[in-house]
Each structure stands twice: as C-alpha cells, then as structure tokens.
Amino acid sequence: MGRLQDERGYTLVIVLLMIVLFLSISTVFIKTSLSHAQQEKSVDNNNHAVVAAEMGIERYSKEVQFELKKEFRTLHAQAINKMKKIEEEVKKYPGNNHIYITCESKVDVEAWINCNINELEKELTNELNNSIQTYLTEVENTKKEIKIDKDLIYSVEKFGFDVDASNDDEIHLILHVVGKKGSSNGKLLTSKLTLPNPNFLDPEETVNVETIVGSKIEKLTDFFPQLSDKVLSKCPVLPVKNMPPCEYTGELTTSYLKKIKDQGFDSSFYIRASKYPNQLNSFSGFGIPLYALEGEIISEPNLNSATNISMYYKGILDLKNTNNHSNHNFFMAEIITLHNNQNVIDNTLIVVGNEKKSVFTAPKIMIGNGSKLCVNLDGVTPNPSDLFKKISHKDYLSVEGTGKIYLYSSKHVEEDTKYNTSNVKYYNDPSKFLSACGVGVSYSTGGSEYITIPSIIDSISDDMDMEVEYKP
C-alpha cells in the first residue's frame, strides 16, 4: 500500500513540472511577440519619419524655386533700367557718363559696352546669390518644426549654398531635413538641388543702338565745329517728344521752347537758331540747349529776369546787366565779355577761347553763390596778363561764397597749382574740365554707326535636378 502512495506523489510532481514548463514556454512566446511588435512599430516610425523628411525636402525645394523666381523678377526690373542707362550712354559715346568706375579707362566703345555688361551681370548675380543666402540662413536659424499630423513632423537641420566655380550656369543647394514620428530619433535626409544660375542677358537677342563716331577733344578750341558742321532738319511747328536736334526758322520764342519742354527732350537735343529777341530780358530757355553763330547776337543783350537759358555761342558774346539776379543761365562761347555784371549769381559762364587767343578781361566781376566761371587759358589772352593770378583783387576778378572758377591749361605747370583754393581750381584734362563746368558734350564728331548690345531675357528656367541621400 505504501508503494502505491509514493507513485501518486510522482504524478503530482510531473504535473507541476509540466505546468512550469508550459508557463515558461508561454512567457518566452509572449516576450518574443512583444519584441516583434516593438520592432514593427520602430520600423513603421522610421518609415513615417523618412516620408516626413521627404515631404520637407519637397516643400523647401519648391520654396527655394519660388524665392529664386521672386528675386529674379525684382532684379529683372533693375536690369532693364540699367540696360536703358547703358544704351543712353552708348548714344552719347565718347561724351558719355560712366556707369561703372572700373570701365572708365575703356576708350573703345565696344570695350566700354562689354565692360559695363560684364559688371552688370556680376552685380545682378551677386545680388541674387546674396538674396538666396539670406533666405536660407533665415530658414536654418528658425529651425521651425512643421507638423504633418499630431505626431509626425519635419524640420530643417542645415541649408548649404554653393555656386559651382567650374560651372557658372548652376547653383547647388545642400538641404538637410529631419523627419520624426512620435518620440523616435528621426531620420535625416540630405538633398542636393541643382538650379540654373539665371543669365539676365540674352546674347542671341540683341538691340542696335546708334552711337556717334567721334574722338575725345584734345583742344578745347575745337569744341564748336562739332555743332556748326552738322546738317540739321527744320524744327517742326508742333514739337514732338524726344525729337532730334533741329534748326529753327524765324525769331526764337519762349513759347516754342516751352512746348518742347512740355513734350520732353533727351540729352542729345539742341536747337540751332539764328534770330533772338534784341534784348533777352524775361526770356526763358527752359534749359533747352541753344546754338548760335557769331554775328547772330550783336545787341549786347540784358539778362534781367532771363532764366534757364542754355546757350552755346560760336564767337564773342557781349552780355550786360545780370546784377544780383539768380538766373540759372548757362553761356558757353569763344569769348564772353561782361559789362555791368559786378555780381554774377547762379549762372555758368564758359570761355573756350579760339585760335587767335582773343583778349579776355573781367573788370570788377564777382563770381557769387552758385556761379561758375570756366576759362580755357590756352585759348585767351588775359588782360591784365596776371588776371588769374590775383583773383579777388578789388579791381579785377573775384569769387565769393559757393562761387567757383575753373581754369584749364594743357601746360599746367606746377607753378599754377599754388593758386588753387577752395574756390579756384586748375585742370589739364579737357574732359574733366568741361564736366566740372557742366558740359556733357566733350568730343568731336564724324558721323554715326550702330552698335549691337544684348537684350534682357524675359524669364527664368524652371529646370531643377534633385538628388536625395538617405542617412541611416
């Protein structure tokens, strides 16, 4: 009987061992299942993070394209305005104003155009690149997280910018975007965007611009032949906008000049007129350049209340009575003889002289505020001979306030410079002398020709290549 009881005890032990074994197997199975579920969740989070990062890449890629186009439109308008300036200066070449200081030394018109166009392209490209870099820096510094849903986000980690030195036609952007799902560490995607570096000028589309064939004046006494030798058409009865230089028939009137001013005229315009009122009192020139030959103004006109006359006179011009008037007149002649003009205010008087070196004198003449007296010493005989070496002598020429006296001499010995003051200055460059005196035309002409310059392109390319690198 005792032996049978022992067998029942073994059965109980076996049952208990089987229960323990079952529980152990169940625990391992449950643990394995839980681990697998966690792995699946992690993979799912990573996949979502990659999707989020890809969405970020897509968004910022489009934003970069948008910013590039927006800045291009702004610079495109600037390019059009700058090219208009270049065209206008080409028309006046070689008496043009300089746009970029690096091109001042270019003496050939085509070299001058190429230099200015190159400088314009560099200026526009630099502004475009700086604008893109500013935008990228702002995006990177903000590091704003963008939510796709409640636990799916992306953000910019870093934005890099580079213009390929080996290929000026391309801009490279390196974009690092992190995508996250929930509390995961996130996935980093690196994208390389290749964008076209926009060319603002189209060499295939050109514009023909008429320019003057000429050379810089070496002798100031050669100034007037360029005007007198030019054949002009008659001025129309009714002026039109930006009409070419013309010859006026009959006595020139203020009312006709006002019509021209109201229509508008460009910097190359002037009127050749042979008849003027006997006295120019109350005559208004509206700043329109007038050209006359010697013998056409012989009445020693008064200039009382005459305003904005801009006259080029080939000969000896006698002027009377401008005392204490702020006339804003401009007179350029071979010789200007002044009578009863003790106080010259807000007027410009330019004496270019002649081959005969006619006598120039200025007894008791005061060049006052806003006025300029410009004299070519190579073309006149000063009376007295030391007239310009004792400026401000009470019996001769003087200058006060903001008045200026500019003197030109091709010899320009060192001795002359000692007479330079804040009001008196010597020049030995004809162009700089004329420019300081307010004269834009400083060349002799020999006809005209057409110069070809490139046009501004209409739009920017939409092409964009994108390579995405996945980081583990």
Shared domain for 252 and 136, answered yes or no, is no
Q: Are residues 92 and 115 in the same domain?
A: yes
The string of pLDDT tens digits covering residues 321-340 is 655 455 788 888 898 887 76
The neighbour count for residue 157, using CB atoms within 10 Å, is 17
Q: What is the pLDDT of residue 48?
A: 76
180/314 same-domain check: no
Q: How far is CA 103 from CA 36, 100, 207, 462, in A?
A: 73, 6, 21, 34
Closest CA to 63 of 165, 146, 167, 169: 146
Which of 141, 143, 103, 108 minimizes the C-alpha distance to 120? 103
| Percent of the chain as helix, strand, coil, to the nearest 5 | 35, 30, 35
The domain total for the chain is: 2
In a domain, 213, yes or no: no
Burial 8-45 (b: 16+ CB within 10 A, else e): eeeeeeeeeeeeeeeeeeeeeeeeeeeeeeeeeeeeeb
Using an 8 Å Cβ cutoff, are 384 and 416 in contact? no
pLDDT of residue 261: 92
Q: pLDDT class for 101, splitting at 50, 70, 90?
A: confident
Which of 179, 203, 227 is at the close of a domain? 203
- Residues 308, 313, 316: CA angle, nearest 5 degrees: 120
8 Å CB contact between 190 and 173:
no
The phi and psi torsions of 253 (rounded to 5 degrees) equal -120, 155
- Give the separation between CA 357 and CA 352, rounded to whole angstroms: 10
What average pLDDT does the structure give for the chain? 76
Does pLDDT of 375 surpass 90? yes
Instruction: Look up residue 459 and give its two tokens.
Output: 């739009």
Choose the final residue of a domain: 146, 179, 203: 203
Residue 186 and residue 243 share a domain: no
Same domain, 237 and 338: yes
Question: For residues 286 and 328, what is the distance between their CA atoms, to the nearest angstrom?
Answer: 10
AA letter at 200: F
Same domain as 410, residue 273:
yes
Q: Are residues 253 and 385 in the same domain?
A: yes
Task: Note whether 178 and 237 are same-domain residues.
Answer: no
Task: Look at residue 87 in the predicted model and tell me its pLDDT.
Answer: 81
Could you list the residue range(s) of the whole structural domain that residue 22 is in? 2-203
Residues 6 or more apart whose CB falls under 8 angstroms from that of 463 comprise 195, 196
**SS3 per-residue string spanning 117-138:** HHHHHHHHHHHHHHHHHHHHHH
What pLDDT is attached to residue 258?
93
197 assigned to some structural domain: yes
Q: Is the pLDDT of residue 72 over 60?
A: yes
Spatial contact of 38 and 147, defined as CB atoms under 8 Å apart: no
Residue 218's nearest CA partner among 107, 297, 308 is 107
Place of tokens 């009881």: 5
With a cut of 50, say whether residue 1 has pLDDT above it.
Answer: no
Map 72-107 to HEC letters: HHHHHHHHHHHHHHHHHHHHHCCCCCCCCHHHCCCC
List Cβ neighbours of 382 (8 Å cut-off, separation of 6 or more).
Answer: 359, 360, 361, 388
User: Would residue 43 count as lying in a domain?
Assistant: yes
- Note the pTM of the prediction, 2 decimals: 0.53
Q: What is the pLDDT of residues 13-44, one digit of tens each?
A: 677 777 777 777 766 666 655 555 555 656 66
Same domain, residue pair 197 and 228: no
Helix (H, G, I), strand (E, B) or coil at 281: coil
Q: Considering the domain boundaries, does residue 210 fall inside one?
A: no
Q: How far apart are CA 210 and CA 440, in angstroms?
A: 18
Interatomic CA distance for residues 78 and 72, integer angstroms: 10
Last residue of a domain, one of 139, 170, 203: 203
Residue 450 within a domain? no
Are both 264 and 404 inside the same structural domain? yes
Closest CA to 145 of 46, 67, 55: 55
Mean pLDDT calculated for residue range 2-9: 54
Rounded distance between C-alpha atoms, residue 424 and residue 405, angstroms:
5
Q: What is the DSSP letter of 192?
A: E
pLDDT in tens, 309-325: 888 888 888 877 655 45
Q: Is residue 303 domain-shared with residue 357, that is, in the same domain?
A: yes
| Residue, of 236 and 449, whose pLDDT is higher | 236
Other beta carbons within 10 angstroms of residue 422's beta carbon come to 8
Residue 206 confidence (pLDDT) above 80: no
Residue count of the chain? 472
Three-class DSSP category at 141: helix
Question: How would residue 405 be classed by pLDDT, with cut points 50, 70 and 90?
Answer: very high
Residues 231 and 257 in one domain: yes
Assigned domain for 35 exists: yes
Does 209 map to a domain?
no
Using the predicted structure, report yes or no on whether residue 161 has a pLDDT greater than 80.
no
Angstrom distance (rounded) from CA 194 to CA 171: 6
In the chain, % of residues over pLDDT 90? 10
Q: Do 287 and 307 meet the contact criterion of CB atoms below 8 Å apart?
A: no
Whole-angstrom Cα distance, residue 245 to residue 56? 63
Question: What was the pLDDT predicted at 186?
Answer: 77
Q: Tell me if 195 is assigned to some domain.
A: yes
